[in-house]
Chain A
């Protein structure tokens, strides 16, 4: 009897919920470890932002400081002056990046979501092998293919065109994989079945029923594809200056030496702000999609 009491006492209950086994020591330890890792991750990012607001003399102060004494927007102004001086109009670089990113992301979303629908909601011969190939493609890095891809793209006659960057991006598999897994768990077969009985075509079901149900997966696919294309810099496929990207142009500014380090810092901040803002807006949707990302053995 007494022994049973002791056993019962160990279970702490708060608000009808069993309080889990959490020792204070563990809490403190975890907080310390989190703080250390957090600083390791955060400080360099913070330093990037701080650098962009330092006037030139503070950028080269000894020792370097983690705060700004007199913050200034001069670096951003310098960046825009440099932009207007460049040989190819700077707006062209920005247009290239935006164009490549928009086409690649939209196309990938359309093609991958159709494929995800077919793979997750229809049974047809060859389906399993297709999905196996797609999972296998996640297992190796695309650089393995860079040499042969160069040959393929030059054989297609796409060297030095937008196509060389956009078309291969349409077939990136990460977004497809996440979308397929998400559809499998979040689009109930019964709804599709009743739509089929009502005589809706598969395309119609895909577009009007399945797609609206997987909006979180869209956003995830978009950010996956977007961040790859947004950061695309100098490419082996592109020689013409007019077709090069914003990221490449920033590399050129950065290589301009000490006087340009302020403008360089400003441009880095602009480059990184875009994907981070997109992530902040969509964070909860993206995490929701990842809930079904698991791989079965």
Chain B
């Protein structure tokens, strides 16, 4: 073998000489350890998050009920949902009302409070952060609202309304149709200053102070202008993250309604898509039909997220 002959076995391979598939295979072999590291998590993630969504999509086209051999039904589950199921349609309406109030309001509240406390001294800021954040991490402490608004005269709301003479007999707050939605929205808002709130606080802290000074020199006159032109564009990534969490949470508050009003709530006043899902999936075992509900809820959440993403990329422009 001459000195200059190329050792075809071991010479470095350039990407051009390989087909795309060979290149990917080579890269995969080179990074074996990465798959080993991500593997265990990704397998569990696949089994408990991706697979259920995929299975729901398939089940929703059948009449699977966990007992009999499922039959192919095409889209008839969806047609039944939107044309015959009045409870579902009411739940859709409730869910959208709930989400369109709690989502934006909790988002604005988180952002506003994070912004308000941003310039306070760190110690005071830490205390205020705790006051606002505590309800969201305290598990089911929101049950206190059923004490405050309990149906007898010992409930705080009833007691004061009676003492001041607005009402003669106690109101059954969580059992009266017209109060169910507003009260549950208030309680949901009370628990909603969670992770996105912390993300906003951190995002505000991370903005370079010299930008504000430059803004002041360049003629920004009020803090509101500063907010719109400097602060918000600087924390756009946090705004995006917060929005995703707010949307997800605003569709997932069904547990609060069940805990406060019972299941089903009076005259389905607080019935949401999640409750429909519980009803058909957990109690009647109509898995096919429940899957169709799950798919609808899934699509609503994903579409909402995409729309909000588009809107947020316009902030500060």
Interface residues of chain A, those whose CB is within 8 Å of chain B, are 11, 17-23, 26, 30, 33-34, 37-38, 40-42, 44-45, 47-48, 51, 59-64, 111-112, 114-115, 117-119, 122-127, 130, 133-152, 167-168, 170-171, 173-174, 176, 201-203, 206, 223-224, 227, 230-231, 233, 236, 247, 254, 268, 271-272, 275-276, 279-280, 283-284, 286-291, 293-297
Would you call the interface of chain A mostly helix, strand, loop, or mixed?
helix
Q: Is the CB of A291 within 8 A of B159?
A: no
Report the minimum CB–CB distance from A3 to chain B (whole Å).
13
Q: Is the CB of B31 within 8 A of A122?
A: yes
Q: Is the CB of B190 within 8 A of A41?
A: yes
Report the minimum CB–CB distance from B237 to chain A (whole Å).
2
Report the minimum CB–CB distance from B185 to chain A (whole Å).
13
8 Å CB contact of B282 from A112, A146, A174: A146
Q: Is the CB of B138 within 8 A of A272?
A: yes
Q: Is the CB of B298 within 8 A of A287?
A: no
Which one of B6-14, B71-79, B246-254, B262-270 contacts A? B246-254
Nearest A-chain residue to B64, judged by Cβ: A151
Number of A-B contacts defined by CB within 8 Å: 309
Nearest A-chain residue to B249, judged by Cβ: A141
Which one of B40-48, B86-94, B175-183 contacts A? B40-48
Question: Considering the chains assembled together, what is the distance between the CA atoms of A289 and B33 in angstroms?
Answer: 27
Q: Is the CB of B138 within 8 A of A276?
A: yes
Question: Considering the chains assembled together, what is the distance between the CA atoms of A246 and B45 in angstroms?
Answer: 27
**Interface membership of B172, Cβ < 8 A:** no
Q: Is the CB of B190 within 8 A of A44?
A: yes
Q: Given A115-B37, A139-B244, is A247 in contact with B282 using a C-beta cutoff of 8 Å?
A: no
| B119-163 Cβ-contact flags toward A at 8 Å (1 or 0) | 000000010111111110111110111011000011110011011
Give chain A residues whose Cβ lies under 8 Å from the Cβ of B139: 227, 230-231, 247, 271-272, 275
Give chain A residues whose Cβ lies under 8 Å from the Cβ of B216: 11, 18-21
Q: Given A47-B144, A151-B55, A227-B139, is A30 in contact with B116 using a C-beta cutoff of 8 Å?
A: yes
Q: Is the CB of A37 within 8 A of B135?
A: no
Q: Given A62-B154, A124-B31, A171-B49, is A279 in contact with B41 using a C-beta cutoff of 8 Å?
A: no
Nearest B-chain residue to A231, judged by Cβ: B139
Q: Given A140-B301, A272-B139, A290-B199, is A147 in contact with B226 using a C-beta cutoff of 8 Å?
A: no
